[in-house]
């Protein structure tokens, strides 16, 4: 099934080479969780801070329990630092 996967800020480095912008359409297996997709793209868990599924915040627990559906949008942000 196809979903939209968005990686923001420094996480964009984990998108495939040649991707324009911060999002791609990808194929994932039926029953995949957001954590499955994140791991599939080798994004380190310590770099995953804010995760939204279709614009709705997912807690760390929900990221492993939610089941993605065709057409979903998964967006991930790293921790923010600065003053």
The reported pTM is 0.92
Residue 33 is assigned to a structural domain of this protein: yes
Residues 69 and 22: their CA atoms lie apart, in Å, by 21
Domain hosting 65: range is 2-77
**pLDDT average per 10 residues of sequence, the chain (83 residues):** 96 89 94 97 95 97 96 96 61
The number of distinct structural domains making up the chain is 1
CATH number at 21 reads 3.10.20.30
Residue 83 is assigned to a structural domain of this protein: no
Residue 9 is assigned to a structural domain of this protein: yes
Comparing CA positions, the residue from 51, 76, 46 lying closest to residue 66 is 51
Residues 10 and 5: their CA atoms lie apart, in Å, by 15
Residue 25 is assigned to a structural domain of this protein: yes
SS3 track for the chain = CEEEEEECHHHHHHCCCCCCCCEEEEECCCCCCHHHHHHHCCCCHHHCCEEEECCEECCHHHHHHCCCCCCCEEEEECCCCCC
Residue 82 is assigned to a structural domain of this protein: no
């Amino acid at each position: 099934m196809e979903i939209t996967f968005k990686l923001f800020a420094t996480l964009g480095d984990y998108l495939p080479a040649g991707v324009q912008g911060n999002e791609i359409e990808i194929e994932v297996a039926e029953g995949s969780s957001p954590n499955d997709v994140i791991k599939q793209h080798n994004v380190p868990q310590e770099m995953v801070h804010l995760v939204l599924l279709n614009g709705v915040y997912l807690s760390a627990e929900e990221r492993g329990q939610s089941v993605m559906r065709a057409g979903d949008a998964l967006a991930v942000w790293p921790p923010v630092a600065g003053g």
